[in-house]
Amino acid sequence: MAIRFKILGSSSSGNCGLLQTDHCRVLIDAGFSGRRIGEMLEACGESIDGIDAVFLTHEHSDHVAGLPGLSRYRKLKVFANRFTAEAVRGRLKNAIDWQIFETGTRFAYRDLEIDAFPVPHDAHDPVGFVFSNGGDDLFNPHRSLGWVLDLGYLPEGVKERIRQVDVLVMEANHDRNLLQNHTKRPWSLKQRISGRHGHLCNDSAREFIESTPGARWKRVCLAHLSRDCNSVDEVNRTFTRSLEGAFPHQLAVVAPGAETPFYDFP
């Protein structure tokens, strides 16, 4: 049984993950143009034709920009809740095979079990995901991936769900000072980003990571960095204590414009 995962790209300007199991290949968000996603897949030996489904967290363009392009290739199976699907539908010319789920429920797709839970963010009905596979016998251990991008803070229900995943992809969107001192952003936008339904700052991400003893994480990817108000260096500085080995998790900061290597679940 093989399951592997990679981030094709993640930042405020586009997000897309690729999860492969023995029985499916799925994209998590599709926030680059269809052509760009096609190139990214080819660069890692995959192709759009090999993708079975796309899972959407919410309707913001850095998560759905690829749908018009991807749907041109063929009728695509897209999992989303009703409000997200309705918000995206108007932007599409081609047929989508919508698979509507209810926020707050678990459902199955091939050999994956998906937990879609609400997150606080300024979209119609934004969700985070936990994808699980296996666990039915000794030779097929339970493995899981958490995908939590775009949220203003971490409610207890979200913390509870992502504490026990093997691989966690979590937002470290901005540095508070860089955001407040940014001269080109209006005050209202700064309020929106730093608000309870905006984006997670580096300090909030660190507080959670460092205050969660007993977490199962084998890998934590810090992602969705803002190009203007954050940098890999800034995140590294915030997480110095974790990176210096006080915590056993393997932290990886995902640079805007970069992909991650495949992570093979043991």
Which residues are near Zn ion by CB under 5 A?
A: 60, 62, 150
Q: How far is CA 86 from CA 96, 131, 154, in A?
A: 12, 24, 26
Which helix (H) or strand (E) covers residue 203, if one does? Answer: helix 202-210
Q: Measured from the CB of residue 216, what is the shortest distance to Zn ion in angstroms? A: 25
Tell me the residue nearest to Zn ion as measured from the CB.
60
Q: Which residues pair with 219 in a beta bridge?
A: 167, 250
Q: Report the residue number, 56 or 165, with the smaller CB distance to Zn ion.
A: 56
Closest approach, Cβ 253 to Zn ion, in A, equals 17
Q: Residue 214 is encoded by which pair of tokens?
A: 């007993």
Shortest distance in whole angstroms from residue 11 CB to Zn ion? 9
**C-beta of 62 vs 166, nearer to Zn ion:** 62
Nearer to Zn ion, 34 or 134 (CB): 34
Question: What are residue 103's DSSP bridge partners?
Answer: none
Q: Which is nearer to Zn ion, 64 or 215 (CB)?
A: 64
Exposed, middle or buried by CB within 10 Å (0-12, 13-18, 19+), for 147? buried
Give me the least distance between CB of 81 and Zn ion, in Å please.
14
- What distance lies between CA 121 and its chain's CA centroid? 14
For Zn ion, give the closer residue by CB, 60 or 219: 60
Residue with smaller CB distance to Zn ion, 13 or 99: 13
Which one, 62 or 115, has the nearer CB to Zn ion? 62
Query: Residue 44: what residue type?
Result: C
Q: How far apart are CA 41 and CA 49, in angstroms?
A: 10
- Give the neighbor-by-neighbor strand order of the sheet with 219-223: 105-109, 112-118, 127-133, 143-148, 167-171, 219-223, 250-253
Min CB(51)–Zn ion separation in Å:
20
Nearest-approach distance from CB 123 to Zn ion, in angstroms: 6
69 vs 256, beta carbon nearer Zn ion? 256
d(CA 59, CA 47): 24
Minimal distance in Å, beta carbon 149 to Zn ion?
A: 6
Query: Strand runs (DSSP E) across 167-257, as ranges?
Result: 167-171, 219-223, 250-253
Task: Find out whether 10 and 223 touch, Cβ atoms under 8 Å.
Answer: yes
Q: What is the DSSP string of 131-150?
A: EEE--SBTTB--EEEEEE-S
Provide, rounded to whole angstroms, the least separation between the CB of residue 218 and Zn ion.
25
